[in-house]
Amino acid sequence: MFSYLISFILDAVVIFGLAYALPQIHITSFGKALGVAVAIALLNTIIGGILRFVVNLTTLFLLSSIVKLLVTALMVKLTDKIFGGSFEVEGFWPALLVAIVLAIASYLILPLIPF
């Protein structure tokens, strides 16, 4: 449970930081960023899992990392539609950048935290 909480907070910090750094990403508050992080995680688990499985079947699981990034970017765009004006990502490339930075941050920081 503690690991999920840390992961949500890390994702919220990344999303809030990217909103500050990039003009194509808008978010109203850190609380909304935390909600967005939870929504992306839930959508990625439910809808993203199904999409990743189907697309990975067609690519014979050879491109699974790329598929995961693309599906996460789609979940970021879906979260944009769900949250409306409080979280906006203008275009697919910024959403893909969010997915890449989230993956890198999780890969680099989460192993350093003792659970």
pLDDT score for 96 = 97
84 half-sphere exposure, CB direction, 13 A CA radius: 1
pTM, entire model: 0.93
Residues in Cβ contact with 76 at an 8 Å cutoff, skipping those fewer than 6 apart: 40, 89, 95, 98, 99
pLDDT score for 46 = 95
Query: To 10 degrees, what angle do helices 64-83 and 30-58 make?
Result: 140
* Domain segments of the chain as ranges: 2-107
pLDDT score for 49 = 94
Q: Mean pLDDT, consecutive 10-residue segments, the chain of 115 residues?
A: 88 96 96 96 95 92 93 97 93 97 94 81
pLDDT score for 98 = 97
